[in-house]
């Protein structure tokens, strides 16, 4: 399976995100602008941008589902195209709201600094397994899109860990985040199934 060479990160994730916010502090960038800025790290940076606000308690009902759409689309692209980033024209023309970048930039420092302190380039072979990573991110993004109160936070944190691991070339962080993501998806699926069975049981009792 071909692997894309990410090379040595020219700066930390925090610095990369800060540069993006500074470059587009007055006008909202398109996803195409983000791709030109990030190069081979396009998928990881887009995941980071949209996972950051999802990792917070969102005040607006339905916002979690809206923000999950780009996560789903990027995950599908990772599955289809593998390591080399490709954005269809219709998607590259979509704009990233400045408010979203600012929301991420105000919350990014402490959380990402903690991750960066324990992160280092390792397990490089895993970073190139973009289709596998995309499959896990897709499952997590679908869970985020479900109307579950605060159900967006744990899967978003897992995607955030995957994105930072890809940006930092830390395969161990990616592996740990994917493992945690698998547990989150399994746990939430079990809870949903049990809740569904409980509802059906109540309905049967009422009808009988």
pLDDT attached to residue 208 = 59
Q: What is the pLDDT of residues 2-55, one digit of tens each?
A: 344 444 444 678 888 888 888 888 888 999 999 999 888 999 999 998 988 887
150: left (phi over 0), alpha (psi -120 to 50) or beta: left
Which DSSP letter does residue 95 get?
B
pLDDT attached to residue 62 = 65
pLDDT attached to residue 35 = 92
* Helix 42-54 × helix 153-168 angle, to 10°: 150
pLDDT attached to residue 109 = 59
- Tell me the mean pLDDT in the region 157-185: 91
56: closest CA among 154, 126, 139, 133?
A: 154
pLDDT of residue 192 exceeding 80, the answer is no
Residue 190 CA from chain centroid, whole number: 22
The Cα 191–Cα 186 span in angstroms is 9
The Cα 3–Cα 97 span in angstroms is 32
pLDDT attached to residue 174 = 94
In the chain, the percentage of residues whose pLDDT exceeds 90 is 32
Q: What is the pLDDT of residues 47-90, one digit of tens each?
A: 998 988 887 766 555 677 888 899 999 999 999 988 888 999 99
pLDDT attached to residue 107 = 62
DSSP class per residue in 2-30: ------S-SS-HHHHHHHHHHHTSSSPPB
Residue 87's φ and ψ, nearest 5 degrees, are -120, 125
Helix (H), strand (E) at residue 173: helix 171-207
The Cα 98–Cα 26 span in angstroms is 8
Q: What is the pLDDT of residues 172-184, one digit of tens each?
A: 999 999 999 999 8
Given pLDDT bands bounded at 50, 70 and 90, which one contains residue 120? confident
pLDDT of residue 137 exceeding 90, the answer is yes
- Average pLDDT, rounded, for the chain: 82
């Amino acid at each position: 399976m071909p692997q894309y060479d990410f090379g040595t990160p020219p700066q930390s994730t925090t610095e990369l995100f800060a540069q993006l916010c500074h470059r587009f502090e007055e006008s909202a960038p398109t996803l195409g602008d983000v791709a030109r800025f990030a190069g081979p790290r396009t998928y990881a940076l887009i995941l980071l941008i949209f996972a950051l606000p999802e990792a917070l308690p969102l005040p607006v009902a339905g916002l979690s589902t809206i923000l999950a759409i780009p996560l789903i689309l990027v995950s599908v692209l990772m599955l289809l195209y593998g390591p080399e980033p490709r954005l269809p024209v219709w998607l590259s023309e979509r704009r990233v709201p400045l408010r979203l970048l600012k929301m991420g930039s105000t919350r990014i420092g402490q959380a990402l600094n903690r991750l960066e302190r324990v992160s280092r380039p390792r397990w490089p072979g895993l970073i190139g397994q973009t289709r596998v990573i995309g499959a896990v991110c897709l499952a997590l993004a679908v869970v985020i899109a479900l109307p579950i109160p605060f159900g967006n936070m744990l899967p978003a944190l897992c995607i955030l860990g995957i994105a930072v691991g890809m940006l930092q070339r830390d395969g161990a962080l990616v592996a740990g985040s994917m493992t945690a993501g698998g547990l989150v998806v399994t746990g939430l699926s079990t809870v949903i199934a049990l809740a569904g069975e409980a509802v059906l049981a109540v309905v049967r009792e009422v009808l009988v």
